[in-house]
Structure 1
Amino acid sequence: MNTADLGLPVDVPSTALFTDQYELTMLQAALKAGTAERRSVFEVFTRRLPDGRRYGVVAGTGRVLDAVENFRFDAGVLGFLRERGIVDEPTLEWLASYRFSGDIWGYPEGEVYFPGSPIMRVEGSFAECVLLETVILSILNHDSAIAAAASRMSSAAGGRPLIEMGARRTHELSAVAASRAAYVGGFASTSDLAAGFRYNIPTVGTSAHAFTLLHDNERDAFQAQVNSLGRNTTLLVDTYDVATAVRTAVEVAGPELGAVRIDSGDLLLVAHRVRQQLDELGARDTKIIVTSDLDEYAIASLAAAPVDAYGVGTQLVTGSGHPTCSMVYKLVARAESADPKAPLVPVAKKSSGGKTSIGGRKWAARRLDEDGIAEAEVVGTGAVPAELADRQLLVELVKGGDVVAREPLDVVRDRHAAARDGLPLSATQLSRGEPVLPTEYVHGRSGSQ
């Protein structure tokens, strides 16, 4: 069971300092100006997808909910802010009782998104919403980037299992988040035990080249591993000569050998040779696992190879060249006064330079064609057109400060698979191209969601 996503204790410290200083200085100035309590709406979106990507993947929502719940200014945090003189005493007093009491709506985790999609909407007073900007963006930008890379790799793998094994290629805490995001994107397991412990992701692992080098010869190493882990283990066969190692592996473990792993060389050629050799030795059920700096393109190139599973590290945990999604957190509407009944006024940045945004509290829906395949992402303000009423994408995540939408990670993973399957076939092409769905904007309608 996923303890973090289900809200059970996981020893998570305060997340209040996972923020930028200007969030707090804005708060101080707004408190002094009397505008801090104005009802406000912030939205998370991206203006564009990474170059060549056809769709994005929403990931990290469960971690955002944890972060919001743990966004507390305890004595240690307040002491740090006081010692540094970051904010004044009235602001520290306000922060001491901070609890997010607003509402959060968002695309359900695992859903796909496109440029302009209002991936998350945070509503409450300006004061309580502005503080969450950095931590929300930090989580969503990282996790969504990893999940998008994982989704592309999963599609390229064509149903063959993928193993996440990038913990040694990134920060230790990022590695845990990356494992979670990779699982959302379609990976089957991880080598990272912390991710397995926290999120109940299946874990795998057997041995590295060091284990073979420890022993006097390869046969002794294989025998030691089989004696310990059983015949169904995976033996690493490229420390020395691959053909010799495969023969030795079958001699030691017998035809019941679970798998061999290849970590170097021309994987396409070597995999074919190893498969032929295993079959000739009677180990027809022994699987072949390949690793070695794989990305979605390398995985796709091995589609015709007799490979049973892929292990992916560096390219996955770095987003396969796109380690962020360039998501932003923008104020799109605010009340005219601190009166709770004051109407919302759309606001938006209008400066030149490609960073403009569209004001107003938004809804989003996905229009389908006659075959039930998505054909457009529709984003609008005001009333939702009747024909799109049952295709709305945003769901309630937090209501009055209480989390209302925690989910097991397997539900999120299944949702992503279904969302990707609902896109046009060109979504899974690895060649460069535009987003697979256009984003259409609907303006000027009255009413509210």
Structure 2
Amino acid sequence: MNTADLGLPEEEGREALPREGGGGRRVGVPSTALFTDQYELTMLQAALKAGTAERRSVFEVFTRRLPEGRRYGVVAGTGRVLDAVENFRFDEDQLGFLREQRIVDEQTLDWLAGYRFTGDIWGYPEGEVYFPGSPILRVEGSFAECVLLETVILSILNHDSAIAAAASRMASAAGERPLIEMGARRTHELAAVAAARAAYVGGFATTSDLAAGFRYGIPTVGTSAHAFTLLHDHERDAFKAQVDTLGPGTTLLVDTYDVAEAVRTAVEVAGPELGAVRIDSGDLLLVAHRVRQQLDELGATGTKIVVTSDLDEYAIASLAAAPVDAYGVGTQLVTGSGHPTASMVYKLVARAETADPGAPLVPVAKKSSGGKTSVGGRKWAARRLDADGVAEAEVVGTGPVPAELAGRQLLVRLVEDGRIVGREPLGVARERHIAARANLPLSATQLSRGEPVLVTEYAHERSGG
């Protein structure tokens, strides 16, 4: 890991910020058809038998509330949703499994064999912020083809949006200092790749996960662990081996033994052009100040300081006054900093009364007590601004969009007649999030517990009880 990898300026004039994401490879994606709950298929079978499966339907993804104390949510995973929809196909092995387990009958298996999503999907663009009630994703088509996508869509959006929200809070706390995603060893190996992607959307600069770099083009970094130092007879030997291999611009880990002695040795081995040192334990605020003073006294005034060690947004904020140049975050990031899900749901909000393609849609909604009511009708969403151009309300409605909000609509077309039309480079989503967060009231970046920074207003009457 050198200072260019960290997104920090170097004397040699390398880029100060990592390149934009989106340069990853379109590797083969396996079928996502069984990333679903059994009841999606049993509902399909019953609807086929009842003659209601082909009724035109509208499903929406939303959350009734943000995690306690959070001021805003972050939409992440949209690109992965598009991949999942495109690859939702039942192959012979999967159909054989369903037949063997007697999950559904032969009529349903025949229908599944030819499954292709042919409907439309609209959604908040990736990186946008959202609030309770925001129709983050709208899926339109027959009931049969839409209901099958519920579980995989929620699986992706709930995970990735939770990670991106935590990343956004950490990025806000870090200010201009870059963040390194280092959580691969703290979660499932496949979740680690998705987490790195979501973290990049939320504002992280780099990742240590090579699979994420390969798949999504996220800049990757890496240096050494304590094991590398312990492998050698002396700390100096370990530092020399690393510098000889990676050059003086590398980052040396200095807290295996005595920090002050390690810093002295690091500068002796690499010279004053040493790229960075990493501190992974102790009182980070105190140690960072001591290390900065020592580096300057040794003439390594350009050497950066990277800190790791179970950081979260609160720890990062507490280090704002410390001479720290970059942060590495793992466990707290990939677990959503205490909120590992965004609690999104996928609900039917409108459907036709017959299978006639021209039949009008009628709003439907769950009518029950206990805080799980929903709002019926196919919705639009817009963000109203105040006189200074700062967002002041999330407006959600059905029917015509008021003229004053026509230019502020949030949903964009992602899929048209089953064809993916909304793919974009990952870096675009990252930049969008930076802009969306900057357009919120200043209180959005406060880490203290509070209510959502924007109120959600409904431009129609509730259909739910």
TM-score (norm 1): 0.98
Name the CA distance, whole Å, in 2 between partners of 1:14 and 1:246. 51
Aligned residue for 1:443?
460
Summarize the Cα distance change of 1:198–1:19 in structure 2 as closer, same or farther, 3 Å threshold.
same
In the TM superposition, 1:138-157 aligns within 5 A as 138-157=155-174
Name the CA distance, whole Å, in 1 between partners of 2:334 and 2:105. 40
CA RMSD of aligned residues (A): 1.0
SS in 2 for 1:27: helix
Match 1:324 to one of 341, 344, 347: 341
1:122 equivalenced with 2:142 (yes/no): no
Which deviations, in whole Å up to 9, do the C-alpha atoms of 1:257-294 show, x marking residues without a partner? 00000000000000000000000000000000000000
Shift, 1:10, TM fit: 1.1
Aligned residue for 2:17?
none
Match 2:27 to one of 10, 14, 19: 10
Aligned residue for 1:56?
73
1:94 equivalenced with 2:114 (yes/no): no
- Asked whether the 8 Å contact 1:40–1:334 carries over to 2, the reply is yes
SS in 2 for 1:358: coil
SS in 1 for 2:332: helix
Match 1:224 to one of 216, 241, 244: 241
Aligned residue for 2:374?
357
Which deviations, in whole Å up to 9, do the C-alpha atoms of 1:30-79 show, x marking residues without a partner? 00000000000000000000001000000000000000000000101101
- Asked whether the 8 Å contact 1:379–1:439 carries over to 2, the reply is yes
Name the CA distance, whole Å, in 2 between partners of 1:161 and 1:110. 18
Shift, 1:109, TM fit: 0.3
SS in 1 for 2:346: strand
Aligned residue for 1:76?
93
Which deviations, in whole Å up to 9, do the C-alpha atoms of 1:293-323 show, x marking residues without a partner? 0000000000000000000000000000000
Which deviations, in whole Å up to 9, do the C-alpha atoms of 1:391-418 show, x marking residues without a partner? 0000000000000010000111000000
Aligned residue for 2:149?
132
Task: Provide the aligned length of Structure 1 versus Structure 2.
Answer: 442
Which deviations, in whole Å up to 9, do the C-alpha atoms of 1:137-171 show, x marking residues without a partner? 00000000000000000000011000000000000
Which deviations, in whole Å up to 9, do the C-alpha atoms of 1:191-214 show, x marking residues without a partner? 000000000000001100000000
SS in 2 for 1:181: helix
1:250 equivalenced with 2:267 (yes/no): yes
Aligned residue for 1:293?
310
Aligned residue for 1:161?
178
TM-score (norm 2): 0.94
Match 1:207 to one of 224, 228, 232: 224
Could you tell me which amino acid in structure 2 is paired with residue 36 of structure 1? A
Could you tell me which amino acid in structure 1 is paired with residue 159 of structure 2? H
- Asked whether the 8 Å contact 1:2–1:198 carries over to 2, the reply is no
Match 2:279 to one of 253, 256, 262: 262
Aligned residue for 2:320?
303
Aligned residue for 1:185?
202
Aligned residue for 1:110?
127
SS in 1 for 2:362: strand
Could you tell me which amino acid in structure 1 is paired with residue 128 of structure 2? E
| Gaps in structure 2 of 5+ consecutive residues | 1-20
Shift, 1:444, TM fit: 5.8
Aligned residue for 2:412?
395
- Asked whether the 8 Å contact 2:22–2:427 carries over to 1, the reply is no
1:272 equivalenced with 2:269 (yes/no): no
Summarize the Cα distance change of 1:19–1:370 in structure 2 as closer, same or farther, 3 Å threshold.
same
Aligned residue for 1:31?
48
- Asked whether the 8 Å contact 1:381–1:444 carries over to 2, the reply is no
Shift, 1:9, TM fit: 4.0
Could you tell me which amino acid in structure 2 is paired with residue 30 of structure 1? A
Moved over 4 A (4+): none
Name the CA distance, whole Å, in 2 between partners of 1:2 and 1:107. 19
Name the CA distance, whole Å, in 2 between partners of 1:206 and 1:436. 39
Could you tell me which amino acid in structure 2 is paired with residue 2 of structure 1? G
Which deviations, in whole Å up to 9, do the C-alpha atoms of 1:110-141 show, x marking residues without a partner? 00000000000000000000000000000000
Aligned residue for 1:176?
193
Name the CA distance, whole Å, in 2 between partners of 1:57 and 1:412. 11
Match 1:428 to one of 438, 445, 449: 445
Shift, 1:2, TM fit: 3.3
- Asked whether the 8 Å contact 2:23–2:218 carries over to 1, the reply is no
The percent identity for this pair of structures is: 87
Name the CA distance, whole Å, in 2 between partners of 1:347 and 1:339. 18
Aligned residue for 1:377?
394
